[in-house]
Amino acid sequence: MARRAQPISALPGAGAALVVAALIFGTLAAVALRAEAGRGFGSSDWAALRFTLTQAGLSATLSVALAIGLARALARRRFFGRSVLIALLGAPFILPVIVAILGLLAVFGRAGWVSQALGLFGYEPLQIYGLHGVVLAHVFFNLPLATRLILQGWQEIPAERFRLAAQLNAGPRAIWQLLEAPMLLRVVPGALAVVFAICLSSFAVALTLGGGPRATTIELAIYQAFRFDFDLGRAALLSGVQLVLTGLAAFVALRVSAADGVGTGLDRALRRWDGDTGLARGLDAFWILSAALFLMLPLAAVVASGASGLFLLKPNVWMAALTSVLVSGLSTVVLLLLALPMAASVALGRSAMIEVAGILGLAASPLVIGTGLFIVIYPIADPFSLALPVTALVNAVMALPFALRILVPRAREVMARYGKLSLSLDMAGGPFLWRVFLPRMRAQVGFAAGLAAALSMGDLGVITLFADPEVATLPLQIYRLMGAYQMQAAAGAALLLLGLSMGAFWILDRGGRWHAEA
Amino acid sequence: MLRLESCHIQNGAFTVQADLQIKAGSKVAVIGPSGGGKSTLVEAIAGFLPLTQGRILWRDMDLTEMAPGKRPVAMLFQDGNLFPHLTVAQNAGLGLRANLQLSSQEQAQVLRALQRVGLGDLAERKPAALSGGQQSRVALARVLLQQRDLLLLDEPFAALGPALKAEMLDLVAEIACETHATVLMVSHDPKDARRIADQVILVADGIAHAPLATADLLDNPPPALKAYLG
């Protein structure tokens, strides 16, 4: 009997999924074979595990708790700049971690604005390094994400319910009990799990603000075992632990979370009839203003202190910037070569295994993949000479889950709408790919490419494992400048990196939507 | 002659049976209640739904295992017959070459087809800049260029007003004459059938009945059709 006709082959997507799975499981196997289980877990390893769980738990709880207040305020107020603020809540996703950390140091550091203000009143300056610094940075990154997740929950309460509540003359308490509390019960566990999972595997924050026996995460311990002791066995053992942790957390997060916070329509303001008292207004204004300050001050600090540093940049910083642009470009190309065939295959209904391969990146830790790649490459080539391609590849795999979330729904739509027409016009294969699929996917491809480019541009992860002193991406160069206490130069370079990341995103995203018909 | 030999067409959990013949060059309306299997029948002939039994023959050619684009079939769907990112000329040109690598001779041919349907001066527009009737004309220009033996219409004009729809049906009849095509037209409106169809196939309850002369059938409907017509 005739097979169900398809306008495009599902095979390349299956191949791409296989490459991703091989990379993740292959490096995992390499790590596992190298791990010396017999030696067991040392006391410093236990400390790292405890610290990892503590900081992730605290970061998740704080981020989500604050996000509930902020989301509630945003959900029931309409004000000038509301949609801009909500759009900005999406920005930390593509904000280079190292840039945010420089900004947080400028605001909350020993010599930062807050410390200076405290000094005026005779107080001690703030101490940002250690647990609270790590948590502060994680809240900075994840408060916006958690807010978007929870705001989505608020927006999904049908407007009719609020109208009904107003009709029944329900007060704030009743609205809370009837509408808001049940929604939060549904949404908050997912938000907690997502933020917890993200904080488990965050590396750059721990690298810059943590450290020492009391503030070392597992990712950081992998890096140290690898970089300082060159103890591959220990790095492998820690990688195994990290993999179990992130795998479990990602699994839980995917199970309990429905929303992804990437969706649009969050700037739609509901008509509400409650919360009109002066107290409620004041409280909401307080939430919104303090959140806006907390999120924008560090960025303002980077721009302010970086602007003067921008003219003092040394050639090696420009070199690093060029390197970052190349790595980011390569990473984006690799991402598209993986994600587009996979999205097409998923849209054709060959989904299960390919979708699983796509989200593997959420569970994998870049440092673990990096360690595995090092172990695999070491016997056959000099891993340090491959630092940049490896970084680009790992960045692409990390961006893959997000890219698929953007591409797959549109790919499904294109197949459903134009699949039969294309088949009946005998366009299967190349003509469908070039004349229908890619042109129809342009906006989504641009968005996904923009995210991938920005993520790769700002990444400070696997490059730290592989780089020798001669090679650096811009984030690594900034980290080195910070290590040498050249804060002015670091701030200038950070401003450059911020511009490059946002610029890459803007150009690719715009390019995708330029002259695109609906 | 288009022959459907004891065909069983699977569409999800739903099966349509058809055992019938259609004379080459005739225009046949496919009518019946919604959910009865009209679209299923047409989509099987176009090659989008597999047969679990039987075969489909056009003249002496067995179509059963052929890919949709390789069949001697041109099809217009209910909606989405044009690609919004391609110009009018490109959309029509797809009827000649799927990869749109058209020679200058073929480009001239495209222009003639567009002129034939009255869109000669809109060749470089995008579909979004066209009215619903004009969009239908572009799709019909493509059918003209495709030069296929069978033309299948799955209610492509359902969204148009009555006058415009009648105009399009007349254009379909003209184009079918010019290309000597055999037409199968899904419709839920008996007036469409009377307008251009010589014969009618009634599809109801998963069975496609053999074609009967339009006037006879509509004037003396059997019980299944009577229930539908009311």
User: Is the pLDDT score of A272 beyond 80?
Assistant: no
Q: How confident is the model at residue A212 (pLDDT cuts 50, 70, 90)?
A: confident
Co-location of B120 and B222 in the same domain: no
Output the pLDDT for position A516: 61
Output the pLDDT for position A2: 39
Output the pLDDT for position A24: 87
- Assign 3-class secondary structure to chain B: CEEEEEEEEEECCEEEEEEEEECCCCEEEEECCCCCCHHHHHHHHHCCCCEEEEEEEECCEECCCCCHHHCCEEEECCCCCCCCCCCHHHHHHCCCCCCCCCCHHHHHHHHHHHHHCCCHHHCCCCHHHCCHHHHHHHHHHHHHHHCCCEEEEECCCCCCCHHHHHHHHHHHHHHHHHHCCEEEEECCCHHHHHHHCCEEEEEECCEECCCEEHHHHHHCCCHHHHHHHC
Output the pLDDT for position A350: 64
Q: Which of A99, A95, A94 is nearest to A490 (CA)?
A: A99
Structural tokens at position B226: 């009577």
The alpha-carbon gap from B21 to the nearest alpha carbon of chain A, in Å, equals 21
Mean pLDDT of A89-117: 90
C-alpha of A302 from chain center: 20
Residue A27 zone, left/alpha/beta (φ > 0; ψ -120 to 50; rest): alpha
Among candidate residues B130, B147, B164, the one where a domain is terminated:
B147
Pairwise CA distance, residues B45 & B5, whole Å:
12
Output the pLDDT for position A266: 55
User: Is the pLDDT score of A50 beyond 90?
Assistant: yes
Among candidate residues B147, B162, B180, the one where a domain is terminated:
B147
Interface contact B12, partner A, CB < 8 A = no
Residue whose entry in the numeric block shows the structure tokens 């099809």? B75
Chain B residue numbers touching A421 (CB-CB < 8 A): 77, 80-81, 83
Residues 6 or more apart whose CB falls under 8 angstroms from that of A124 comprise A118
> Which range, A16-30, A263-277, A333-347, is most confident?
A333-347
ipTM of the complex: 0.86
Interface contact A410, partner B, CB < 8 A = no
Chain A residue numbers touching B77 (CB-CB < 8 A): 420-421
Interface contact A516, partner B, CB < 8 A = yes
* A420/B48 touch (CB, cutoff 8 Å), yes or no: yes
DSSP states along B145-190: HH--SEEEEESTTTTS-HHHHHHHHHHHHHHHHHHT-EEEEE-S-H
Interface contact B95, partner A, CB < 8 A = yes
Q: Determine which helix (DSSP H) or strand (DSSP E) holds A312, and give its type and residue range.
A: none
User: Is the pLDDT score of A454 beyond 60?
Assistant: yes
Q: Residue B205's domain spans which residues?
A: 2-72+148-229
Interface contact A413, partner B, CB < 8 A = no
Q: Nearest-CA residue of chain B relative to A413?
A: B80
Chain B residue numbers touching A440 (CB-CB < 8 A): 83, 85
Chain A residue numbers touching B65 (CB-CB < 8 A): 2
Co-location of B137 and B25 in the same domain: no
Pairwise CA distance, residues A423 & A272, whole Å:
49
Co-location of B176 and B157 in the same domain: yes
- Assign 3-class secondary structure to A441-473: HHHHHHHHHHHHHHHHHHCCCHHHHHCCCCCCC
Pairwise CA distance, residues B80 & A413, whole Å:
12
Establish if B78 belongs to a structural domain. no
Q: Nearest-CA residue of chain A relative to B87?
A: A517
The alpha-carbon gap from A438 to the nearest alpha carbon of chain B, in Å, equals 11
Residue whose entry in the numeric block shows the structure tokens 């300082």? A228
Co-location of B155 and B198 in the same domain: yes
Q: How far apart are the first and last CA of chain B?
A: 33
Q: How confident is the model at residue A234 (pLDDT cuts 50, 70, 90)?
A: confident
Mean pLDDT across chain B, nearest whole number?
92
Q: How confident is the model at residue A269 (pLDDT cuts 50, 70, 90)?
A: low
Per-residue burial over A233-272, b = 16 or more CB atoms within 10 Å of its CB, e = otherwise: ebbbbbbbbbbebbbebbebbbebbebbbbeeebeeeeeb
Residue whose entry in the numeric block shows the structure tokens 């680009």? A392
Establish if B109 belongs to a structural domain. yes
Interface contact B101, partner A, CB < 8 A = no
- CATH code, B68: 3.40.50.300
Interface contact A430, partner B, CB < 8 A = yes
User: Is the pLDDT score of A499 beyond 80?
Assistant: yes
Output the pLDDT for position A265: 52
Q: Nearest-CA residue of chain B relative to A425?
A: B69
Output the pLDDT for position A39: 65
Co-location of B47 and B156 in the same domain: yes
C-alpha of A125 from chain center: 31
A391, A459 Cβ separation under 8 angstroms: yes
Nearest 5 degrees, angle CA A448-CA A451-CA A432?
15
Number of structural domains chain B divides into: 2
A11-33+51-513 maps to CATH 3.40.50.970: no
Of B67, B74, B85, the CB nearest to A517: B85
Mean pLDDT of A177-206: 89
Q: Where are the domains of chain A?
A: 11-33+51-513
* B52/A1 touch (CB, cutoff 8 Å), yes or no: yes
B97-139 confidence digits (pLDDT tens):
988 899 999 999 999 999 999 998 999 999 999 999 999 999 9
Pairwise CA distance, residues B182 & B197, whole Å:
11
Nearest 5 degrees, angle CA B47-CA B50-CA B52?
145
Q: Is the dihedral of CA A453, A457, A460, A465 positive or negative?
A: positive
Residues 6 or more apart whose CB falls under 8 angstroms from that of A243 comprise A28, A31, A363, A364, A365, A368
- Outline where A35-130 has alpha helix (H): 43-76, 82-88, 97-108, 113-120
Local structure of residue B123 (DSSP, 8 states): T
* A430/B99 touch (CB, cutoff 8 Å), yes or no: yes
Residue A126: count other Cβ atoms within 10 Å of its Cβ.
Answer: 17
Mean pLDDT of A2-6: 61
* A417/B80 touch (CB, cutoff 8 Å), yes or no: yes
Co-location of B152 and B223 in the same domain: yes
Q: Which of B65, B38, B53 is nearest to B153 (CA)?
A: B38
Of A417, A426, A430, the CB nearest to B69: A426
B6, B53 Cβ separation under 8 angstroms: yes
Chain B residue numbers touching A5 (CB-CB < 8 A): 47-48, 67-68
Query: A 437-476 residues with CB below 8 A of B?
Result: 439-440
Q: Which of B45, B49, B4, B1 is nearest to B209 (CA)?
A: B4
C-alpha of A281 from chain center: 33
* A2/B100 touch (CB, cutoff 8 Å), yes or no: no
Contacts made by residues A223-227, CB under 8 angstroms, sequence distance 24+? A223/A367, A223/A464, A223/A465, A226/A371, A226/A374, A226/A465, A227/A464, A227/A465
Co-location of B115 and B175 in the same domain: no
- Candidates A425, A434, A513: best to mutate against B (most CBs of B within 10 A) is A425
Q: Nearest-CA residue of chain A relative to B69?
A: A426
User: Is the pLDDT score of A118 beyond 90?
Assistant: no
Co-location of B119 and B166 in the same domain: no
Strand B14-22 to B27-31 pairing: unpaired
Q: How confident is the model at residue A452 (pLDDT cuts 50, 70, 90)?
A: very high
Co-location of B174 and B206 in the same domain: yes
Local structure of residue A386 (DSSP, 8 states): G
A112, A100 Cβ separation under 8 angstroms: no
pTM: 0.85
A52-88 confidence digits (pLDDT tens):
999 999 999 999 999 999 998 998 888 888 888 888 8
B182-195 confidence digits (pLDDT tens):
999 998 888 889 98
Residue whose entry in the numeric block shows the structure tokens 């492509």? B156
Output the pLDDT for position A1: 35
CB pairs under 8 A between A and B: 81
Pairwise CA distance, residues A145 & B123, whole Å:
47
Length of chain B: 230
Among candidate residues B112, B147, B182, the one where a domain is terminated:
B147
Mean pLDDT of B21-31: 94
Q: What are phi and psi of A447, to 5 degrees?
A: -65, -50
> Which range, A197-201, A477-481, B35-39, is most confident?
A477-481
A336-364 confidence digits (pLDDT tens):
999 999 999 998 886 677 877 777 777 77
Q: How confident is the model at residue B170 (pLDDT cuts 50, 70, 90)?
A: very high
B53-108 confidence digits (pLDDT tens):
999 999 989 999 998 888 999 999 988 899 999 999 999 999 999 888 999 999 99
Mean pLDDT across chain A, nearest whole number?
87
Establish if B98 belongs to a structural domain. yes
Mean pLDDT of B168-192: 92
Output the pLDDT for position B99: 87
* HSE-up of residue B220 (Cα within 13 Å, Cβ side): 3
User: Is the pLDDT score of A38 beyond 60?
Assistant: no
Co-location of B170 and B138 in the same domain: no
Co-location of B30 and B94 in the same domain: no
Q: What are phi and psi of B37, to 5 degrees?
A: 120, 15
Q: Determine which helix (DSSP H) or strand (DSSP E) holds B21, and give its type and residue range.
A: strand B14-22
Return the SS3 of A121: coil
Higher pLDDT, residue A302 or A356: A302
Output the pLDDT for position A281: 86
Pairwise CA distance, residues A153 & A157, whole Å:
7
